[in-house]
Every structure is written in structure tokens, then in C-alpha cells.
Amino acid sequence: MGHKIGDSVAYVRYSGGESKQMERPLVREAAWTIHVNGQELVTLYCTPDKLNFLVLGFLAAEGIIESLDDVLLLQVCEDQEGVIDVSLDGRPLPPPGRPILLSGCGRGITFEDLSSMHPKIDSSLEVPARQISRLMRDLRHEAEIHQSVGGTHSSALSDGTALLVTAEDVGRHNTLDKIRGECLFRGIPTRDRLLLTTGRVSSEMVAKAAKMEVPIVASRSTPTDLAFKLAREWDMTVVGYVRGDKMNVYSRPDRVTVR
């Protein structure tokens, strides 16, 4: 786990009117610049873990690739720390639209105008509330970096019974890109699945889930008002404040059953 955790730093801990010199490592955050066909595309701030999946997921989310067949080479450059080179199958790189800086920590970015329409999510998936609670507990137990030093968000893709893919990162949106990239690499379908996350459900999180054709997004935190509006427009279920056996279902509550 060494590459995910930074060097130890000294700090002063105040407790009960007393102070004490302490030392503890912090979670790593690093800038990685993606070059596609020799052209600099974007710099992502992330936890340097599962970088290959992060890049695949980001490129898929932005519509630059559709499958692994589009990628000839993906190389994390060891001799140029912070650089990832991607070679595509000869297609011209589409020009991005107006960049939109996202609200999530880690300085996420998307080239998509979130006001544009996505198709509605057509899914008959139903998940019992007790299963969502159990899966959220499982996700928290899988969060190795957070348990060690804190400072990360965790997300997971589930079939409603078990966690299929998990990811941790300083950025919430990065965790979804890592999940999508790993699913693309391993051939795991994302359609009709459940996404769980420990972080706030913002508009870009709902948009990334919609692109994965995921009908249910559940979080330990809250959705934003724009996330709620988008979820309602795209016929998605958003669940917030999943803590213990309690949760709030903000849209399409019929997908969360009590049984």
C-alpha cells in the first residue's frame, strides 16, 4: 500500500486541554497528465492506485473510447513521473467541448455539458433496503487506505448481493472512473447494477452512473439538488444517508424494497 500513502508528517494533537507531538502518514495525492496520441488531454489529481483503470474509465466516460479494442497502448511512464501515455487505434482525437470544473475534491473535470440529455435508465432492478445497508458496511470494511490513514472516498459496483469492484481515491468521481475502467478491462457489465459510495452524490456522480447504465446510486452522504433533478429526469434511484438500517430514498423509491 506504500504508493497510496505519503510520508509521515509531524503534527501537534490537542486533546483534553493537553498537546502532544505526533507523527502520522497522509494519503497520497498526485497529478497525472494523460497524453492521447501524443496530445496532452487533461491532468487528473488522484490517489496513485489503479491508474490504468482510472485512465480507461475517464476516457470511456468522456466518449473517447468505447471498448478495450480502441486502445493500442496504455503506459504509466516510470521515467516521467506524472505522465500516462495512451495510443488509440488511429482515430482522430475528438476536440473537447467547454471544460467544466467539478465540485468534487481532487479537481475533477468533464468536457460534457451536464444540462444535455441522457436516455432514461430502463431497468427492473430492485434491491432490498437491508441489502443496501449490508453492502455499505462491506464497502467501509474494504476501504484499506481510509482505515489506515483516512482522507479517501470509497465506491463499489454491486449486483445487489456482493461487491464486484471497489475503488478508493481522494476524489469521489475518480472512484467511479476506476470502477468503470476495471469493469471495461475485466469484462464486467455495469448495466443494471448498484453503485455505492461514501461521498456526496453530486451532478457529475449521477452523470457518470448514467453513462454506466446504473439505475441505483446509494451513498452514506447526501445528493445535491442538481443531482436529484438529473436523477429524476433520467429515471434513476438515488439513496442518501445510508447509515445502519436507515436511509433516504430521493427518487424512484419503488426500486428499494422492504422485504
Catalytic residue numbers? 105
All three cell numbers of 2: 506504500
Q: Which helix (H) or strand (E) holds 53?
A: helix 51-61
CA-to-CA dists, residue 217 to 85, 88, 192, 233, 240, angstroms: 32, 31, 11, 15, 8
Helix, strand, or coil (residue 175): helix
Candidates 78, 114, 86; CA nearest to 99 is: 114
Residue 197 in grid coordinates: 459510495
In sign, the C-alpha dihedral spanning 119, 125, 126, 129 is: negative
| Rg value, the chain, Cα | 19
**If you ran DSSP here, which 8-state letter would residue 183 be given?**
H
- Checking phi first, is residue 213 left (phi over 0); if not, alpha (psi -120 to 50) or beta? left
**Would you say 169 and 47 are in contact if contact means Cβ atoms under 8 Å apart?**
yes
